[in-house]
Amino acid sequence: MRITVNSGGPQALEEWRGHFRACDPAIEVVGWDEAQGDPAGIVYALVWAPEAGRLAALPDLKLVISAGAGVDNILADPLLPPGLPIARMITDSTAGVMSEYVLTATLMLIRQARRMALNQADRRWQTLDAPPRIAEVRVGVMGLGQLGAPTAQRLAGIGFQVAGWSRGRAALPGVQAYAGPDELAAFLARTDVLVCLLPSTDATRGILNAGTFAGLPRGACVINAGRGDHLLVPDLLAALDNGQLNGAVLDVFDVEPLPAESPLWQHPGITVTPHYGSTPDRRERARKAADMMRRWEHGLPLPQLYDRQRGY
C-alpha cells in the first residue's frame, strides 16, 4: 500500500515513515515531492493543504485523508477530481483535545488573561474586577457534532451552565438544547461565552456576524475553533470596539498562516492561536490513517467520510 504525505514538511517525512511502519510494515510512505516523479500505485494521500492540481496528478489515487478534522483546504483545490472520497481526521483524542482547548480559552476570557498579558508587557499593575464563578457563566456551543458534543458535556461537567445549538435537536445530559434558525435568538440571549464548532456549510459561513454578536448579552465573549469562514472579521472588530463583545479567542482563519498585516494580531481584545485546537500528534494520526487504509482495502465503511451534500 502506497501513501503520500503532505503534512509537517519534508523534515517530518522520516517520522511519518516510522509511525506508519509501526502500524503496518506493508505501508510505503512516499514523500510529497517524490510523488510527482513516481506517482504510480499511490492509492492514498494524507494531506492538509495540497497545491492545486497535485491530487489530480496521482492517477491511482482512491482516498484522500485530511491531516486534520477539516477538509476546507482540500476542497479549495479547483482541480480536485469530483467524487474523490475524502476522510476527516478525528482520532480518539481529538474531541478531548478540543474540549481542553475550549475550556482553556473560556477560562482565559472570564479571567481577562489577555488584559493581564498586555499589562505585563507594559509593566503596568492594574487591579481587575473579580471574575465570575464558573457556575455563573453561561456557555453556548454552536455545533454539537463529533467535537461540539463532547466539548459541551466537558464544560457542563465542570460546572458551567451549558447550552448547545445545532441543526437538529440534540439530547445531551447537562446541556440545554436549541435547534434550527427559529431558536437561535433565544440561544444567543442566554450565552455569555459563545463557542463556534460548526462545520463550514452554505448555512454557517459568516454566521459570526454583527447580527449574531448583537443577539448576545452586552460584554459577551466569542471563541471560534470551527472554521475561518464562519467569522466576519470587520463585524468582530466593530463589536469589540463598541463594547458589545468583551473578548475573543480565535484559532481558525480564512487565510492561514494569518498574515502579519492582519488587524487581529494587535487588537487588545483578541487572542490568536495557530490552529492547534484539536490537532493530534503524528503517531496517532498515522494509526488512524492506517486503520482507514485497512478499512478501504477490505471494503469496510469509513465513518468519518466527508459528505459533500451535507458539507461535513
Please check whether residue 193 is in contact with residue 213, taking contact to mean a CB–CB distance below 8 angstroms: no
Q: What is the pLDDT of residue 311?
A: 87
Q: How far apart are CA 205 and CA 51, in angstroms?
A: 23
pTM above 0.85, yes or no: yes
* pLDDT score recorded for residue 35: 97
202 & 232 share domain: yes
Residue 83 is assigned to a structural domain of this protein: yes
Same domain, 116 and 165: yes
Q: How high is the pLDDT of residue 82?
A: 94
306 belongs to a structural domain: no
pLDDT value for 92: 82
Residues 244 and 120 in one domain: yes
pLDDT at residue number 279: 83
The pLDDT score that the predictor gives to residue 102 is 99
Q: How confident is the model at residue 168 (pLDDT cuts 50, 70, 90)?
A: very high
- Give the confidence band of 24 by pLDDT, cuts at 50, 70, 90: very high
Residues 187 and 57 grouped into a single domain: no
165 and 120 in one domain?
Answer: yes
Q: What is the CATH number of the domain that holds 131?
A: 3.40.50.720
- Cell digits of residue 267: 487588537
Tell me how far apart the alpha carbons of residues 11 and 13 are, in angstroms, rounded to a whole number. Answer: 6
What integer pLDDT is reported at residue 280 of this predicted model?
A: 86
Q: What distances in angstroms separate CA 151 from CA 9, 24, 146, one per listed residue?
A: 30, 32, 9
CA atoms of 164 and 69, how far apart (whole Å):
20
Indicate whether 303 belongs to any domain.
no
Number of domains in the chain: 2
Per-residue H/E/C for 13-80: HHHHHHHHHHHCCCCEEEECCHHHHCCCCEEEEEECCCCCCCCCCCCCCCEEEECCCCCHHHHCCCCC
Are both 111 and 87 inside the same structural domain?
Answer: no
Which pLDDT score is estimated for 73? Answer: 92
Distance CA 42, CA 30 (A): 8
Q: Flag whether pLDDT at 167 surpasses 90.
A: yes
Res. 270 pLDDT band, cuts 50 70 90:
very high
Q: Do 135 and 259 belong together in one domain? A: yes
- For residue 309, is it within any domain? no
Residue 312 lies in a domain: no
Using alpha carbons, list the distances in angstroms from residue 206 to 98, 179, 231: 22, 18, 5
Question: Residue 42: beta bridge partners?
Answer: 2
Are residues 149 and 8 both part of a single domain?
Answer: no
Q: What pLDDT digit, counting tens, does each position of 172-203 carry?
A: 999 999 999 999 999 999 999 999 999 999 99
Residue 312 pLDDT more than 90?
A: no
Task: Catalogue the active-site residues.
Answer: 227, 275
Q: Does residue 161 lie within any of the structural domains?
A: yes
92-149 tens-digit pLDDT:
899 999 999 999 999 999 999 999 999 999 999 999 999 999 999 999 999 999 999 9
Please report whether residue 304 resides in a domain: no
Bridge partner list, 95? none
> Tens digit of pLDDT for each residue in 54-89?
999 999 999 999 999 999 999 999 999 999 999 999
Same-domain check for residues 237 and 124:
yes
The percentage of the chain sitting over the pLDDT mark of 70, rounded to a whole number, equals 100
Domain shared by 172 and 231, yes or no: yes
- For the chain, the distance separating the N- and C-terminal CA atoms, rounded to the nearest angstrom, is 27
Note whether residue 179 is domain-resident: yes
Q: How many other β-carbons are positioned within 10 Å of the β-carbon of residue 32?
A: 19
- Cell numbers found for residue 269: 481584545
- Same domain for 223 and 103? yes
75 and 10 part of one domain: yes
Identify how many contiguous H helices and E strands the chain contains and give both numbers: 10, 12
- Structural domain of residue 60, as residue ranges? 2-92+280-297
